[in-house]
Amino acid sequence: MRHKRTMRHKRTLVLSTVAAAVVGVTTWIALPASAAAPTATLRTVSDWGSGWQSEVTIKNTGAEDMKSWKLEFDLPAGGSIGSYWDTDLAVAGSHLTFTNRSWNATIAVGSSLTFGFVGAGGKPANCKLNGMPCAGNGDVITTTPPTVAPTTRVPTAAPTTQPPTSAPTATTPPPAPKPDESVSVPPKSDILPVKVTNDSGRGENVFLYMLGTNLNTGKLGYVNADGVFTNWTGGGSVPVPAPDVAIPGPANGSSVTVKMPKNLSGRLYMSFGQKLDFRLTNDGLVQPAPWAGADPNRDILFDWSEFTLNDGGLFINSSQVDMFAVPHAITVTGGDGKTLKTGELKPNGRQRVIDAIKASPDFAKSVVTRGDGTVLRVLAPGKAADAGLMNPTYLDGYITSAWNAYASKNLTVVPFSDQPNNKFIGRTAGNVMNFTDTTGKTVASFTKPSTANVWGCDGALGAPNDLVVGPIARTLCAALTRGTLGTLDTQPSGTAADFYKGSAPNVYGKVVHENMVDGRAYAFAFDDVQAQESLVHSGDPRIAGITLTRF
């Protein structure tokens, strides 16, 4: 569930109203030496707070064909560029220079070309195109205020326009979610019943929240128990308390049914013993971020599932991308009466995960315990590092070794199992890994990522929603997170038995997967590479379920 999700490092988590919409447009116009000159336009197509994706369009509005092009700008302190495509990049401190590749050097009169990149930190300034200063004395002119991406993840519940990323046909993923017991099938409706069952064995009150984006309007809001969606209103420059929209949840040993309206994408939160504290800003909803020391929800036991209900049906997953907290299984029953289930832990699985993390010196501090002795959550590595509970450079040595391995051999990326001839070949030169397609054309380049980039699948591994750069980035992030890059030279490849080994293993991902009944989990943003994710889908959903299991 791509649910790239979209987040990340040490920022206020804000649910924005623009999800996949264009979030910013910046125009750079070269000042003409004559009556007409080429122009360059930068369009920020996605901004998720900790990073952004931009495209540059160069249009030849001059009188002669352009034989080459060079676009350069400066980034403020802390800014960086990760992956980029259809261009070459030279970096000198904070000054970046993008130049044509051999196949896109010429731009005929009246024609244009586009290249793109993923960045983090501050946006470009002091632009020049072929040596000519851009409008506004080279400063960036923003015509649409930037916004923040909608969730704390890079993946989303709904499928994107890119084909699903999975392993080559030779790879054996974990078994698909199996049909569970048959249940009574409600009639087809635009309101989907979601049965929440409390088998946790805990006596605290449970509170539920159904929050998300109305896909018909793009508005953010909440849903009551009867399935009525209401837009959020209010908010300010300083976050203010959101209205109390909690739905009373089931007592231990019982169930409640809430209703989910069609064309909603969001989260269903569940908390024990205390209501969650949500805040509203001018930009949207501030969601709980308990890895941040000042978050008001840090001492509450809670978790969430993520979902999208649209014309494609219901996509719903359990998520461990940010943390492992409340064990819960998720189900969906289709019109044929068959029920699919995933997310179920093995007996005593929660405690086994906690014990295994505590036994690892590098990960032990990511287990968060409340003053009364309740283990609230195990933070995912990136969030633990953000909170100062884990070495922020834990993967750096492994990343360097894996990256350098391809200075002397090829990395073959085959991102789509149903397209075995759609291959990309990667080779490393310095800190950059360049990928060519089957014609030899360079189609994507990635700078060596940091540990934080790998844990978050962002920054240098930012994955645009396209059919080339995004699938390669997803594959690289999955291979680095699982520790197979550098040893398995075709990616994706291997099986669960090959994952989470090596000099710097991801103990979190390993033990979370090991303790799932079906081996599936969303232990990082692109765990859906090779179908490892804990997601169920029905194109004809009639009833969904969330069962809070014993712990």
Which among 47, 86, 199, 306 is annotated as catalytic? 306
In 3D space, the residue among 426, 314, 227, 245 whose CA is nearest the CA of residue 1 turns out to be 314
- Residue 161 above 60 pLDDT? no
Q: What is the pLDDT of residue 134?
A: 64
- Residues 107 and 139 both lie in one domain: yes
**Quick one: CA dihedral 51, 526, 366, 289, positive or negative?**
positive
Q: What is the pLDDT of residue 236?
A: 83
Q: How many CA atoms lie within 13 A of 420 on its CB side?
A: 5
Contacts of 312 (CB under 8 A, 6+ apart): 158, 159, 539
β-strands 328-334, 132-133 pairing:
unpaired
pLDDT bucket at 119, cuts 50 / 70 / 90:
confident
DSSP conformation class of 291: T
pLDDT bucket at 180, cuts 50 / 70 / 90:
low
Contacts of 512 (CB under 8 A, 6+ apart): 320, 324, 353, 521, 523
- Residues 435 and 412 both lie in one domain: yes
In 3D space, the residue among 54, 123, 108 whose CA is nearest the CA of residue 86 turns out to be 54
What's the rounded Cα separation, in Å, for the pair 464 and 471? 8
Three-class secondary structure assignment of 396-435: HHHHHHHHHHHHCCCEEECCCCCCCCCCEEEEEECCEEEE
Is-contact 516 534, C-beta < 8 A? Answer: yes
β-strands 191-198, 541-548 pairing:
parallel
- Residues 234 and 363 both lie in one domain: yes
Q: Is residue 254 part of a domain?
A: yes
Which among 72, 303, 322, 344 is annotated as catalytic? 322
Q: Is 64 a catalytic residue?
A: no
- Residue 532 above 90 pLDDT? yes
Tally of CB atoms within 10 A around 322: 27
Q: What is the pLDDT of residue 177?
A: 59
Report the number of distinct structural domains present in the chain: 3
Domain boundary among 96, 113, 148: 148
Q: Specify the CATH number for the domain of residue 29.
A: 2.60.40.290
Q: What is the pLDDT of residue 102?
A: 86
Q: Is residue 169 part of a domain?
A: no
- Residues 122 and 246 both lie in one domain: no
Contacts of 60 (CB under 8 A, 6+ apart): 38, 66, 107, 108, 109, 110, 111, 112
Residues 236, 241, 244, 247, Cα dihedral to 10°: 100
β-strands 264-272, 301-310 pairing:
antiparallel
- Residues 283 and 425 both lie in one domain: no
What's the rounded Cα separation, in Å, for the pair 438 and 426? 11
Q: Is residue 181 part of a domain?
A: no
Q: What is the pLDDT of residue 135?
A: 53
Q: Specify the CATH number for the domain of residue 472.
A: 3.30.920.50
Q: What is the residue-averaged pLDDT of the chain?
A: 85
pLDDT bucket at 183, cuts 50 / 70 / 90:
low
DSSP conformation class of 21: S
For residue 140, give both structure tokens.
């960036």
- Residues 523 and 493 both lie in one domain: no
Q: Is residue 166 part of a domain?
A: no
**Quick one: CA dihedral 65, 70, 75, 79, positive or negative?**
positive
- Residues 355 and 239 both lie in one domain: yes
For residue 436, give both structure tokens.
């060519």
Q: Is 322 a catalytic residue?
A: yes
Q: What is the pLDDT of residue 533?
A: 96
Q: Specify the CATH number for the domain of residue 389.
A: 2.60.110.10
What's the rounded Cα separation, in Å, for the pair 340 and 268? 18
- Residue 62 above 90 pLDDT? no
Q: What is the pLDDT of residue 130?
A: 85
- Residues 215 and 99 both lie in one domain: no
- Residues 247 and 337 both lie in one domain: yes
What's the rounded Cα separation, in Å, for the pair 459 and 453? 5
Cross-strand partners of 210? 223, 268
Q: Is residue 272 part of a domain?
A: yes
Q: What is the pLDDT of residue 142?
A: 37
Q: What is the extent of the structural domain holding 407?
A: 396-503
**What percent of the chain shows pLDDT beyond 70?**
84
- Residue 195 above 50 pLDDT? yes
Give pLDDT tens digits for 245-297. Answer: 999 999 999 999 999 999 999 999 999 999 999 999 987 899 999 998 889 99
Estimate the crossing angle of helix 396-404 against helix 469-482, to 10 degrees.
120
Q: Is the pTM of this model over 0.95?
A: no
pLDDT higher for 463 or 24?
A: 463
H/E segment holding residue 104: none
Q: Is residue 160 part of a domain?
A: no
Contacts of 388 (CB under 8 A, 6+ apart): none
In 3D space, the residue among 408, 435, 406 whose CA is nearest the CA of residue 423 turns out to be 435
Give pLDDT tens digits for 25-60. Answer: 443 333 333 346 788 887 777 777 677 888 888 888
In 3D space, the residue among 279, 16, 247, 19 whose CA is nearest the CA of residue 287 turns out to be 279
- Residues 199 and 319 both lie in one domain: yes
**What percent of the chain shows pLDDT beyond 90?**
66
Whats the size of the chain, residue-wise?
551
On the 0-12 / 13-18 / 19+ scale of CB atoms within 10 A, 64 is exposed
